[in-house]
Amino acid sequence: MEPIRAAVLPADTPPPAGTQLVVFADGKAYTPEALAQQLLARAARYARRHRVWLVPQRFLAENRLCLCLLSPEGAVCGAQTATHLNIDYRAYHFRRANAVAPFDTPIGRVALLVDVDIAMPHAVRQAARNGAELLLSSCFIQPFDLYEDRVRQTAMGAVQANGVPLVGSMSGYGMICQPGGEPLISAFEDSPVAGEVTPVPADGSLRASMEEAQALLRAYGRLFTENGGEAEYV
């Protein structure tokens, strides 16, 4: 695949020249269902105006926390519901998806990781095992829980473990990481976080060990499916 120039920006900020992919970041937990249509319409206008692939903020749709990818024509070309929620949202009884489903786009096979899914190693691994070549994420962390080590460990954990590049936002931070490369992780108070990534799937050697690890998980599946630490709440 060709390298892509990516940027993580505060919502509706014009991207640096030459940017092909934008992930919006903001300090809001999510956009409520009543405002989701407006959010998507505004995001579509932004994508068309700047001719970029765009991941707008997280929004609610049918009681699900969602994230989508818009094409440079402003069309939704993929969406994903969160498979896990932060504990605050559990009280709201949002519904969760049971899988992360990567989808094909002209910039590569993309997996959207909604909110805390980026911090769930099993969700990221599922995306990688299903052929994702680029991880796009948008996550909200309360300001009092947000520190750079958390952002760095989460991003690097996902990228190193799965060999797939990541472009994402975590509240006030942008993350652009390529496997084997120097991660670009920075708060964008002063300037946008911009860099280049090349979509690439997990390599063959890593895939072989992923299968061994999956076999182990299968042998102990009951630990995760029967109690999983707690009962299903929805």
Q: Using CB under 8 A as the criterion, which residues of the chain lie in contact with other proteins when the complex forms?
A: 61-62, 64, 66, 76, 78-81, 83-88, 90, 96-103, 116, 119-123, 125-126, 130, 141-142, 145, 149, 153-154, 156-157, 160-162, 205-206, 208-210, 212-221, 223-232
d(CA 184, CA 200): 17
Cα angle, residue 156 at apex, residues 153 and 160 outer, rounded to 5°? 135
d(CA 122, CA 133): 16
d(CA 154, CA 138): 12
Q: Is residue 155 a contact partner of residue 166, using CB atoms and an 8 Å limit?
A: yes
Distance of alpha carbon 70 from the chain centroid: 14
Closer by beta carbon to other proteins, 13 or else 105 = 105
Residue keyed to tokens 């029967």: 226
Closer by beta carbon to other proteins, 17 or else 215 = 215
Least distance to other proteins, CB of residue 219, Å? 5
Closer by beta carbon to other proteins, 1 or else 156 = 156
Closer by beta carbon to other proteins, 191 or else 205 = 205
Closer by beta carbon to other proteins, 191 or else 225 = 225
Least distance to other proteins, CB of residue 17, Å? 32
Least distance to other proteins, CB of residue 37, Å? 12
Least distance to other proteins, CB of residue 148, Å? 12
Q: Which residues contact 96 (CB under 8 A, 6 or more apart)?
A: 64, 81, 82, 83, 84, 85, 234
Least distance to other proteins, CB of residue 13, Å? 26
59: helix, strand or coil: strand
Torsion of CA 49, 51, 54, 59, to 10 degrees: 30
Closer by beta carbon to other proteins, 116 or else 185 = 116
Least distance to other proteins, CB of residue 14, Å? 28
Q: Is residue 153 a contact partner of residue 170, using CB atoms and an 8 Å limit?
A: no
d(CA 112, CA 117): 9
